[in-house]
Structure 1
Amino acid sequence: MPADGTGALHVRGLTVGYGAAPVLHDVDLDVEPGTIVAVVGANGAGKTTLLRALSGLLVPTAGAIAWDGAELRGTRVEDLVRRGIAHVPEGRGVITELTVEENLRLGHVWRRDKDDARRATAEVYELFEPLARRRTSAGHQLSGGERQMLAIGRALVARPRLLLLDEPSLGLAPKVTAQIMGLLRRLRDETGLSILLVEQNVRSAMSIADRGIVLSLGTVVVSDDAARIAADDDLRHAYLGF
């Protein structure tokens, strides 16, 4: 395992699947503090399975997951949140019957420092101005982009140091996708948040990422600077379909 720094994620030899069928095979990856790492690949490559394993929703059959130098395998989901890891799943996960304010409140319900929880909520409203205007609106009344903002905002009120983000551009118009990607870049630059971004929109993901990882059939085939991956025509044609 590499030498660790505060807030670094190191994954080595991760193998995980559903039942007896492995989906990920011997996966290695690193997310250094204050960086965005984009995981890309075709449908069925294992991207969502990777995030589910890192967030404690799936139990790996082999490998090590280290965060802040401590092993994460076997850690309960709620304890991962307390240790600074937040997961925004594909599909956004907004509770549509609740208002924006109530959804955000769920993100800090476990926190003891209620004053800081209120400050964190205010910061989310500053970051996502559309949510501030719609704080009393129910989730089902929001646009797709607003729901994605709300899902990310709910994760942020827990004050994470690592955000696991699954397909944030799914179903969004290009303009809204660009806004979401710009906000992720801003979070990295202004707060030092580390982000592991799973995304099928390769161009958008690589435009904001520091490093990129290409998955194919559950195996890492490339791990490199994001700019080099985006510029490699042969790689894109072979694994990314454009």
Structure 2
Amino acid sequence: MSARVAVRTRGGALTVDGLTVGYGGAPVLHDVCFALAPGEVVALLGANGAGKTTLLRALAGLVPAAAGGIDLDGRDLRGLRTEARARRGVALVPEGQSVVAELTVDENLRLGALWRHRGAARERAVAGMYEMFEPLARRRTSAGHQLSGGERQMLALGRALVADPVLLALDEPSLGLAPLVVAHLMSTLRDASARRGLTVLLAEQNVTSALSIADRGVVLDLGRVVADAPAADLAADDTLRHAYLGF
């Protein structure tokens, strides 16, 4: 008999304190500090090479921290492996639309729900994703490789959400997508956060789209936090936008 999954209460409070991460001894992140409140949407911004992907990978346990803490709902995650962090409620959607190309849409969603839901609960969770992403309902028997770029990104997001995370980290979800598809994805993220109390950390090069749905923005430059402010303030700060955000 498989082990029972521990019941999690809804949370999502994240504190990153003095986080330093590197590859092969060379630091990429330097003493990074910021916090997310439960249900908050925060845009993680910065140029290529600023450290956004490394930060998300560190939160998910894919790269080790050299120093500092990562606290989710009062528990330091640094000693936990990636699977254990997922069971604590951390979901990462990496850049590149992480779906299993050979599996159908329905099989991908059920795979995402596998450890979190059983029986009727799994059926309800998968049905909820079809309600959230109507194009997927029409493609449920199609293989991942048969989907458009927008559909694959919807499926990647659905696979993450079907496990009912408390913290959703996304790496460049709008990359390569048409503007209308990007707008739909961003709106869905905002709605998912509001309806589920989901905390979202969104790493994006599409600064305008990210700030349009975010409560706050955290700006990285060369692995350091250079700004942490309400989204509207960042969008209105011409000096910061020109220096770090490229628009």
- Provide the TM-score with structure 1 as the length reference: 0.96
Tell me, which stretches of 5 or more residues in structure 2 are unaligned?
1-9
- Corresponding position: 1:22 with 2:27: yes
Task: Decide which of 178, 182, 185 is 1:180's aligned counterpart.
Answer: 185
Q: Match of 1:130, SS?
A: helix
- Are positions 1:149 and 2:154 aligned together? yes
* Cα distance change, pair 112–95 in 1 and its aligned pair in 2 (3 A): closer
Q: Do the aligned partners of 2:14 and 2:72 also contact (CA within 8 Å) in 1?
A: yes
CA distance in 2, matches of 1:209, 1:131: 25
Q: 1:164 aligns with which of 152, 161, 169?
A: 169
The match for 1:230 is 235
Equivalent residue number for residue 71 of structure 2: 66
Contact 2:12 2:198 in 1 (8 A): no
Q: Which residue among 75, 88, 113 is the counterpart of 1:83?
A: 88
Q: How many residues align?
A: 238
Alignment partner for residue 222 of structure 2, among 201, 212, 217?
A: 217
Asked if structure 1 preserves the Cα contact closer than 8 Å seen for 2:117 and 2:163, the reply is no
Give a deviation string over 1:95-118, Cα, whole Å, max 9, x none: 111110111111022235332121
SS in 2 for 1:45: coil
* Counterparts of 1:216 and 1:90, CA distance in 2: 19
1:122 pairs with 2:150: no
Q: Check conservation: 2:97, 2:173, Cα contact below 8 A.
A: yes
Q: Verify the 8 A CA contact 1:181 1:208 in the aligned structure 2.
A: yes
Q: Name the counterpart of 1:54.
A: 59
Show structure 1 runs of 5+ residues with no match. Answer: none
- Distance (whole Å) between structure 2 residues aligned to residue 31 and residue 118 of structure 1: 31
CA contact (8 A) 1:117 1:158 kept: no
> What percent of counterpart residues are identical?
66
> 196-205 vs 109-118, which deviates more?
109-118
CA contact (8 A) 1:59 1:74 kept: no
1:206 counterpart residue number = 211
- One-letter code aligned to 2:16: V
Q: Deviations over 1:181-216 (max 9, x none)?
A: 000111112221110100000000000000100100
Distance 1:223 1:20 in 2: 27
Q: Paired residue for 2:109?
A: 104
Give the whole-Å Cα distance in 2 for the aligned partners of 1:41 and 1:14: 17
SS of the equivalent of 2:78 reads: coil
Whole-angstrom CA distance in 1 between matches of 2:116 and 2:240 = 45
